[in-house]
Structure 1
Amino acid sequence: MNKKRSQENQDRQARLAAIQAQQRAGERKRSALIFGGIGAVILAIIIAVTLVIVNQVQVNRDREAAAAEPIQDVQEFPDVTFNHVEAPVQYEQSPPVGGDHNPVWTNCGVYTEPIPNENSVHSMEHGAVWVTYNPDIGQAEIDKLTDLVGSRSYVLLSPFPGLDSPVAASAWGLQLKVDSADDERLTTFLDKYIQGEQTREPGAACSGGLTPAGRAS
């Protein structure tokens, strides 16, 4: 009788050990699946981030290469004056690309109303690019220009009533007029001429000056 009970106990222990071994194997399998899944997700994230970085590096290289080349249809005005004056100025170019200007510059940013020529010319002397648009181009085009300017520093964006093209980008002694906010030359113009070689006073501020009405950002 005792022998039979002993055998039964051994059998139960064997079955229990088998069940426990099976459970441990299942747990190891689940852990492997969980950690394998986590590893796959992490790997996918690493690959995605790497692709984004590589793509952005290539985009930056392409933009730098484009900015290093002459931009088609950019007009140059090398002989503009640069005196400080208090009186209004009659500029030869419209929008102006330089010349005598107010002692106070326009603070860089996005404006929904026209801004003073004389102060904005001073901003360009500090290395700003002034992007202007005919107010009749429509809100969709204006939104594209706002996105183009984005959070860039040393940029002015404003309407310019009477502008003879839909959009113009002006830097000190330089100007590009285009028919659409989608024109890729606008991006190249910004990349090339924000604080570019044409800047008369590199590093000078584009804040702490005049903030005209209509500033949006």
Structure 2
Amino acid sequence: MTVMQGGEVTAEELEHPWVAQQEHVDIAADWDGTPPEYELKPPAGGNHLSAWQTCTGSVYDAPIVDGNAVHSMEHGAVWLTYDPELLDQAAVDALALLIQGRDYSLMSPYPGQGVAISLQSWGNRYQTDDPADPVIEGYLDGFVLNQRFNPELNATCSGGLSTDANDL
């Protein structure tokens, strides 16, 4: 994936131009209340909602709103999602241990994502069906607050939304 730095690359030149989009769609004067749609499911960047999802090693038991999670990734977080139909509770609990206590990370179920585990950070994604895949922890170590893929440096992960999609 191409990284935009210093205006050297235009969005049209990117394989995934949505990484250049980082507007808060819900504060625009012409916003009609429709949440942003994403090319990738789960998304790994793009225009999003103005409220971020709390990402202080947060483990959510229910799906969260994509547009809030994307805002968290803009702050430098990694979002680990899992398909609850493809993992047993023991695997979910083991993944939660990797997230809990790790600032700038969050985890939630993502029914129907088509792969057991997906890790997203701004402009990047890694997917696996193996809950013991060592790349999972390596991805978390490498992409949490990764300065190359962090469009909003020094933004917080605390004080965001702690609700899930069921609360809408």
The residue type equivalent to 2:67 in the other structure is E
Query: What is the rounded CA distance, in whole Å, between the counterparts of 1:90 and 1:78 in structure 2?
Result: 14
Spell out, residue by residue over 1:21-59, the C-alpha distance to the aligned partner (whole angstroms, 9 max, x if none): xxxxxxxxxxxxxxxxxxxxxxxxxxxxxxxxxxxxxxx
Query: What is the rounded CA distance, in whole Å, between the counterparts of 2:118 and 2:84 in structure 1?
Result: 12
Residue 144 of structure 1 deviates from its aligned partner by: 1.0
Residue 150 of structure 1 deviates from its aligned partner by: 2.9
The TM-score with structure 2 as length reference comes to 0.79
Residue 211 of structure 1 deviates from its aligned partner by: 1.1
Taking CA–CA contacts closer than 8 Å with sequence separation of 6 or more, which of the two structures ends up with the larger relative contact order?
2
Q: What SS does the corresponding residue of 2:70 show, helix, strand or coil?
A: helix
The answer to whether the 8 A contact 1:107-1:208 is kept is yes
Which has the larger displacement, 179-188 or 205-214?
205-214
Q: How do 1:37-52 residues align onto structure 2 when only pairs under 5 Å count?
A: none
Query: What is the rounded CA distance, in whole Å, between the counterparts of 1:102 and 1:161 in structure 2?
Result: 21
Identity of aligned residues (%): 42
Q: What SS does the corresponding residue of 1:202 show, helix, strand or coil?
A: coil
User: Partner residue of 1:200?
Assistant: 151
Q: How large is the RMSD of aligned CA atoms in angstroms?
A: 1.5
The answer to whether the 8 A contact 1:104-1:209 is kept is yes
Q: Which has the higher helix share?
A: 1
Q: What SS does the corresponding residue of 1:135 show, helix, strand or coil?
A: coil
Q: What SS does the corresponding residue of 1:148 show, helix, strand or coil?
A: helix
User: Partner residue of 1:92?
Assistant: 39
- The answer to whether 1:123 aligns with 2:72 is yes
The answer to whether the 8 A contact 1:145-1:181 is kept is yes
The answer to whether the 8 A contact 1:77-1:174 is kept is no
The residue type equivalent to 2:83 in the other structure is N
The residue type equivalent to 1:182 in the other structure is A
The residue type equivalent to 2:53 in the other structure is T
Spell out, residue by residue over 1:94-129, the C-alpha distance to the aligned partner (whole angstroms, 9 max, x if none): 100011100110011110000000011000000000
Greater C-alpha radius of gyration: 1
Residue 77 of structure 1 deviates from its aligned partner by: 3.9
The TM-score with structure 1 as length reference comes to 0.61
Correspondence for 1:170 among 120, 135, 138: 120
- The answer to whether 1:185 aligns with 2:130 is no
Correspondence for 2:95 among 122, 145, 148: 145
The residue type equivalent to 1:107 in the other structure is T
The answer to whether the 8 A contact 1:141-1:180 is kept is no
Q: What SS does the corresponding residue of 2:81 show, helix, strand or coil?
A: strand
Paired residue total: 139
User: Partner residue of 2:53?
Assistant: 106
The residue type equivalent to 2:84 in the other structure is P
Query: What is the rounded CA distance, in whole Å, between the counterparts of 2:151 and 2:129 in structure 1?
Result: 29
